[in-house]
Amino acid sequence: MSPGAIATVARLHAVLAWAATAALLAAPWIARSGAARRLRRGVRAGAIALLLATSALGLALHDTYRAKIRQHLFISAPDIGWLFERKLHLAFASALLGVGALAALFWLERTPADAPERRELGRGAALAWGASAALALAASIAGAIVARRAHF
């Protein structure tokens, strides 16, 4: 990729990361607002789609980061380098938990109302969703801090 294309993908990655974070944070309130089941499902799926699109762009940028930025970043500002490394871990965990939460919600919708595992499944989905949103927020904040020092 050319340097201009890399910079464009990095900006798009940042914008999508914040959009995914906002969607992850807003989805529980939309679900509780009494919105139609179809809207709730769409909002949740959309939030995870944004999260996965952000992850895909991050993966596309990862080799460039390792080859061109990582060493210079650790030499000039090791604390920022370590923050970026943690941001990668937070983002990966957020994506995994988000997909897990969506899968649990999908399964919950197909579980009979009188099933004994329904309560635990709902709790697990809510916990995974909340953790995914919190980790996405932490990763987005860390990414914004690092972006002030390191540029593609």
Please list the rounded mean pLDDT of every run of 10 residues in the chain (152 residues): 87 95 88 68 88 95 88 91 95 96 90 89 92 97 89 62
Q: What is the pLDDT of residue 35?
A: 61
Query: pTM score, two decimals?
Result: 0.88
Q: What is the pLDDT of residue 29?
A: 80
5-43 b/e (C-beta count within 10 Å ≥ 16 → b): ebeebbeebbebbbbbbbbbbebbebbeeeeeeeebbeb
Q: Are 19 and 57 in contact (CB under 8 A)?
A: no
